[in-house]
């Protein structure tokens, strides 16, 4: 199930969006009547509860200030991994839909088993044949043996149990992809931050220099006050902090007039600093918007990956319980979890 696609149908969408396209069909599965042999309700609910909430994030990325960087190699790597995750998650949705549909169908157990095996083979074999067996953790020989075991079972529940190794491999493969995506998102974040800092380097240097001059002027005011209070050591420290005031003092005992003149000089300097800072403010605001958008993209992408990882965990466990005939309701308070996480970020890589 690494590549798991139905034929050549490949629908592009944001991360996890393809998985969500099947949510409406799955939601209806909550009405399935329980039986002692096989109850698909928890399986459907566990799969769909997450899907319905993740759909809140099904929005196109908003590249506004960072538009010039969206085709950077580091971002392209994230998109490539996200594309593979889309295919895996979409196949999970399609497979889950098929399982519930077979359970609801009026055909006999033998036919259900045959249809399950046929569908598994249809969506799984392309990934194995595409030489991704090393990443999926399943050789072609292992796959054929597992598929034979599925076909040999007498009931749908038993066939699902025989298919569990495939589910485990898919879940593990998705875990590898999520780990890869996590690292790529972190790398892309650092890369784009460096690009932003490089683009705004002159502005940032000007801001730093203004801050240095401002701090010297403020320190000068403090030392002038100490001089007025009779601190004999303050003059040397003042001239070190503000050497441009040296010409204002004729001796080591400044007069009141000299101190007033020095204070006026510092006040004029602070006024000029404020004027320059005001001129730089629009450009600095643009810099901050770049950083804010990057943080939004990074946060939202990380959250999507976290939800996708949790989706796979819930699905895999639900499939195992289903195959074992264990009637286990959803074990995660998804509504509370996702209500909280829905407040984070708005955009995706």
What are the pLDDT digits (tens) for 298-322?
888 888 888 888 888 888 888 888 7
Would residue 68 count as lying in a domain? yes
Q: Identify whether the C-beta of residue 41 lies closer than 8 Å to the C-beta of residue 328.
A: no
- Does an H or E element contain 220, and which? helix 201-228
Could you tell me if 43 and 176 lie in one domain? yes
Q: Which residue range(s) make up the domain with 241?
A: 201-288
| Per-residue confidence (pLDDT) for residue 129, from 0 to 100 | 66
Same domain, 101 and 176: yes
Per-residue pLDDT reduced to its tens digit, 157-178: 899 999 998 888 888 888 989 9
Nearest of 177, 185, 184 to residue 3 by alpha carbon: 177
What distance, in Å, lies between the first and last C-alpha atoms of the chain?
25
Asked if residue 348 is part of any domain, the answer here is no
For residues 59 and 98, membership in a common domain is answered with: yes
Residue 88 sits in the same domain as residue 233: no
Q: Confidence band (pLDDT; 50, 70, 90) for 57?
A: very low
Residue 271 tokens read as: 């006024």
Does 51 share its domain with 118? yes
Which one, of 337, 277, 274, lies nearest residue 54 by Cα? 337
Domain check: are 266 and 219 in the same one? yes
Same domain flag for 238 and 150: no
Distance, CA of 86 to CA of 51 (rounded, Å): 13
pLDDT, residue 77, reads 93
Do both 310 and 271 map to the same domain? Answer: no
In this structure, is residue 347 part of a structural domain?
Answer: no
Q: Is the pLDDT of residue 101 over 50?
A: yes
Q: Which residue has the tokens 């749908």?
A: 156
| Residues 189, 207 within the same domain | no
DSSP state string for 77-116: HHHHHHHHHHHHHHHHHHHHHHHHHHHHS-S-HHHHHHHH
| Same-domain status, 311 and 326 | yes
Mean of pLDDT over the chain: 76
**Interval 195-237: pLDDT, tens:** 999 999 999 999 999 999 999 889 988 988 888 888 878 888 8
Taking Cα atoms as reference points, which of 264, 261, 256, 273 lies closest to residue 216?
Answer: 273
What is the average pLDDT across 331-344? 37
What is the CA angle 301-303-306, rounded to 5?
115
- From 260, 288, 316, give the residue that closes a domain: 288
Asked if residue 349 is part of any domain, the answer here is no
Whether 36 and 132 share a structural domain: yes
Question: What's the total number of domains in the chain?
Answer: 2
Instruction: Answer yes or no: pTM beyond 0.95.
Output: no
Give me the DSSP letters along 115-156: HHHHHHHHHHHHHHHTT-HHHHT--HHHHHHHHHHHHH-SSH
CB 57 within 8 A of CB 281: no
Q: Is residue 208 part of a domain?
A: yes
Whether residue 346 is contained in a domain is answered as: no
What is the token pair recorded at 269? 């300097």
**Shared domain check, 94 and 216:** no
* Structure tokens belonging to residue 43: 């399986």
Please indicate, yes or no, if residue 169 is contained in any of the structural domains. yes
Percent of the chain with pLDDT over 90: 28
Banded pLDDT at 28 (limits 50, 70, 90)? very low
Would 43 be classed as within a structural domain?
yes
- DSSP conformational letter for 211: H
């Amino acid at each position: 199930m690494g590549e798991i696609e139905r034929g050549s149908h490949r629908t592009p969408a944001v991360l996890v969006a393809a998985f969500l396209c099947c949510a409406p069909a799955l939601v209806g599965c909550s009405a399935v009547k329980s039986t002692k042999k096989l109850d698909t309700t928890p399986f459907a609910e566990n799969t769909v509860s997450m899907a319905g909430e993740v759909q809140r994030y099904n929005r196109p990325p908003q590249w506004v200030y960072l538009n010039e960087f969206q085709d950077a190699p580091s971002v392209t790597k994230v998109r490539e991994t996200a594309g593979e995750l889309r295919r895996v998650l979409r196949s999970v949705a399609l497979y889950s839909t098929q399982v519930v549909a077979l359970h609801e169908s009026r055909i006999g157990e033998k036919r259900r088993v045959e249809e399950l095996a046929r569908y598994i083979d249809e969506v799984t074999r392309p990934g194995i044949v595409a030489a991704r067996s090393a990443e999926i953790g399943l050789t072609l020989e292992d796959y054929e043996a597992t598929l034979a075991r599925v076909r040999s079972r007498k009931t749908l529940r038993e066939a699902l149990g025989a298919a569990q190794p495939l589910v485990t491999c898919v879940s593990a493969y998705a875990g590898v992809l999520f780990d890869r995506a996590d690292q790529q998102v972190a790398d892309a974040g650092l890369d784009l931050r460096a690009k932003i800092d490089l683009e705004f380097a002159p502005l940032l240097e000007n801001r730093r220099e203004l801050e240095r001059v401002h701090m010297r002027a403020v320190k000068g005011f403090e030392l002038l006050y100490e001089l007025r209070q009779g601190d004999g050591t303050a003059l040397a420290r003042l001239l070190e902090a503000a050497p441009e005031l040296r010409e204002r003092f004729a001796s080591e005992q400044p007069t009141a007039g000299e101190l007033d003149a020095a204070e006026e000089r510092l006040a004029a300097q602070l006024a000029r600093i404020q004027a320059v800072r005001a001129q730089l403010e629009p450009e600095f605001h643009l810099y901050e918007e770049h950083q804010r958008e990057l943080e939004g993209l990074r946060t939202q992408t990380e959250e999507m990956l976290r939800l996708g990882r949790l989706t796979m965990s819930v699905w895999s466990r639900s499939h195992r319980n289903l195959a074992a005939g264990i009637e286990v309701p959803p074990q995660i308070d998804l509504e509370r979890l996702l209500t909280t996480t829905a407040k984070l970020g708005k955009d995706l890589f």
